[in-house]
A and B are shown apart, each in its own frame.
Chain A
Amino acid sequence: MIVEREDSALLLAEVDRFARERVAAATARAETPIGAAVLEQLSQEAAALGLLSTATGESGFGIWEHVDHAGAMAFNIGALTQLGRANAGVAFAWHRTALARWVAGQLALELDAASLLGTTLVSTGHYGLARTSVARWLKSAALHGDEVALLADWLDRGAHATVVVAPHAWRTLLWPVWSDGRIAWQLAHRDRLDVQPCRAQHGLDELAAFQVRDASSTAGLKPLDDAASRLIYGRTLKMDMIGLLAIAAGALVRGQELATDYAAIRTQGGKIIAGHPAVQRMLGDIEIARHHADVALASLARPIDDIDAGAVAATRVSAHALLCDAANQVVQVHGGIGYMCEAGPEKIVRDQNMLKLQAGGTREAHAFLAGWIGAFA
């Protein structure tokens, strides 16, 4: 199914209305995060709108249902940006559950159709981005023994706890594991996993964090041949990184609105603070970050197989850094009130930090990129 760019714009207008009128309204009080029931209710509404699908095939226009042409990617990115503007936690939950359904569809796995948020996904190993190794594996480079051992360890779900950020009531987890020298996927049921709930995490307050291990590493395993393994994993990693960046860009849009609105009414030194160069500098920083993210995301609105994974990783490093800095400037424009939970800016900082830290974080992206361009481990 082809989604033309014009169609995409019309769909996004609907998403925008839903994001503003339902998601942003339901989550307006930053100091009191929504509970599981409200998240489920919003998810049902998103499904009714077609944003989320309970099917695993390409049946509609939901997030990540289509990735093989530019219009569809523009829709995925635009929708996640708009949802991120409304609430980053909700957007993250929907991004990951939609991505799980896309992967399940690729693997011909059946997911629980009754629960929209029942399945979540982790796209990486227990820490970072496997240094140079996963990039070189994706490039079909001849791996030496240490690299294979590192990948096996990176995706060893029994030896290491994996951090999962997801809705409280997730039931199944789709994650990559190392099997027979390649990446396979495992659909693990929560009741078979060792799941340790964590205390309130840094951000994405609408969700919860868990440390998860799997004692029986072969249950629910979906092996793949070499080519399919690389193709599906490469696509998933790119989609996850693009989704996180889109949500973060949307969250900054909200931050920018807060900062500009506040700067236009708050006075200091006898005039509105927007008139002070110190504040103008910060508003400029925010606009620079937003522009950078917009340009970066626009460059990624292409068929998923046309997008270079190295380009996504590189974009992620610079864009998340700028977005985090800009979110901090939103707080700084507000001064003391920006630190208070009810005002909203501090949550945007925490959410930006969390988004940067998902999918392996950004620090190891440099090693990933070195591997991507051919450096050895």
Chain B
Amino acid sequence: MSAPTHLEGHLPADHPLSPRRQYRDLPLIGRSLANYPVKDLWETDFARLPGPLARQRRRARAFAEQHLVPVADELDLAAHLPAGECHLAALEVLREAGRQGWLSYFLPRPLGSMPWRALPYPPIWQCSLIVEEFSRACGGLMLLLSAHHLGAMPLLLSGNVRNILRHLGPVYRSCERGDPHLVAFAITEPGAGSDVEEGEGAARAHPGVVATPTTGGWLLNGRKCFISGGDLARTATVFAALEGEGMESWTCFYVDCAAPGFRVARTELKMGMRASGAAELEFTDLFVPHDRVIGGLRRGWAINRATLNASRIPVAAMGVGFARAATETALDFAKRYTLGGRALIHYQDVQLHLATMVAETRAIRSLVWQEARGAWQPRQLNASMCKFHATDRAQVVCEMAMDLLADHGGLHERKVEKIFRDVRLTRIFEGTNQINRLSLMEDWQDQLLDVDQHMGV
């Protein structure tokens, strides 16, 4: 059976009334203004990206398709392992990711793996492109590879070259040797999830992890929870209050996870993103020497918030990746699945549904790129807005995909149900989307309080 020349309800491209055919025949000036190449939508975006970032994006897609996609289902359905154990397939992904530079791309060579030509562009932009590709392939593996960058971010944001050379350098070199050294970011405390992501809450919160001075350094005591990658991390950036002080004394400590007093108490069985562990970490008189205080005493709150500002745009990019995966899966289903002898894609209502999904996906990608493009110093307002809007809309797209598959949408084999479980986390972590809405307003309040100032949005 020959392939159809057009979708039902539409004219074929070579029909005399097809405008695209006539564009080609317009005089030169008209042709140059109206005629356009018909490319794959993903490919189209290459022309809109700087070359070095476009190449990173293509590399990330190739890596994801070669190494993440084949093991995504296996790791999603695998038994929940005890804390500290890692599925072999995940370990192999980590090793290969390290060798290919996906665990060290926030710094250029020789310190990291960022292409020198990508240096003129904000690293957040590069990160967002990579995160979208990895999310499209598997949310859990994406998180396994991305939470590491979140953990390492305070080392960069401390602005201390010595910290970078002494701490981040060995991490990156180890990863590039194929010996993955993961870094975890530990802020969330039992009973205080949102308090560590929002100023007013922090002002009233009682610190759960406390640092007590001792000879040569500090002793940490307390617990952190829901720490992505905390079960496999070799080091962690742990935020603790100084003994006898409040959250304003928060300080970032660079912790050796093999040190006495560090324990992974448990890992959570999650709805999705199962290839990445969410760990509860327990510190009992955990000694941290002075030279592993990052950014200075009582600078932790600022480093924490700056880290969140840096990470929320890539979290929005996760939403783009999931929305794209859902849309591509739904498209594939609609092209192959038949009802009444016609592929679903030929039904007008299906076309309307898919058109909305494509528009939603590309709209949030545009938002992410717009914000990432200027994210040298990511502003809280922009990063939070980008995060909550992109992830909220991404979930809608995933729901639309499930609806399109109808009775088949709940089957694991159809893939969309996993994408939904994965996208669901993006509306919760890095601050719930409610907290992110408030973060937007918090960052905007100076201007909002001036009644005479005209507000431009």
Contacts and interface: CB of A to CB of B under 8 A. Distances in A.
Contacts of B341: 149, 153
Contact of B425 (A279, A339, A356): A339
Given A269-B198, A270-B205, A353-B402, A202 B432 contact: no
A163 B278 CA distance: 33
A341 B188 CA distance: 18
B193 to A, nearest CB: 5
Given A268-B194, A335-B428, A198 B340 contact: no
Nearest to B268: A340
6 contacts: A199-B413, A268-B195, A331-B428, A336-B226, A339-B271, A357-B405
B434 interface: yes
A127 B406 contact: yes
Contacts of A357: 402-403, 405-407, 409-410
Given A335-B428, A353-B410, A361-B407, 4 more contacts: A128-B406, A268-B195, A336-B226, A364-B406
Interface stretch (B88-96, B281-289, B416-424): B416-424
Contacts of B349: 363-364, 366-367
A85 interface: no
Nearest to A198: B411
Contact of A341 (B226, B269, B406, B411): B269
B403 A201 contact: no
A127 B408 contact: yes
Contacts of A203: 410
Contacts of B387: none
Nearest to B410: A202
B337 interface: yes
Given A201-B411, A363-B403, A146 B340 contact: yes
B381 interface: no
By CB atoms of chain B within 10 A, which of A271, A353, A356 has the most? A353
Interface in A12-36: 31
Interface string B269-294: 11110000010000000000000000
A367 B344 CA distance: 14
A150 B339 contact: yes
Q: Which 10 A-B pairs have the closest CB atoms?
A: A270-B204, A361-B406, A150-B340, A202-B417, A269-B201, A202-B410, A346-B271, A199-B412, A278-B434, A363-B403
Nearest to A32: B269
Nearest to A366: B349
Nearest to A367: B349
Interface in A313-371: 324, 328, 331-332, 335-342, 346, 349-350, 353-354, 356-364, 366-367
Contact of B428 (A336, A350, A362): A336
Interface in A194-253: 198-203, 209, 211
Contacts of B203: 269-270
B433 interface: yes
A279 B268 CA distance: 25
B118 interface: no
A350 B272 CA distance: 11
A157 interface: no
B194 A335 contact: yes
A267 B402 contact: no
A338 B428 contact: yes
B424 A349 contact: yes
Nearest to B340: A150
Contacts of B434: 278-279, 282, 332
Contacts of A341: 268-271
A165 B407 CA distance: 10
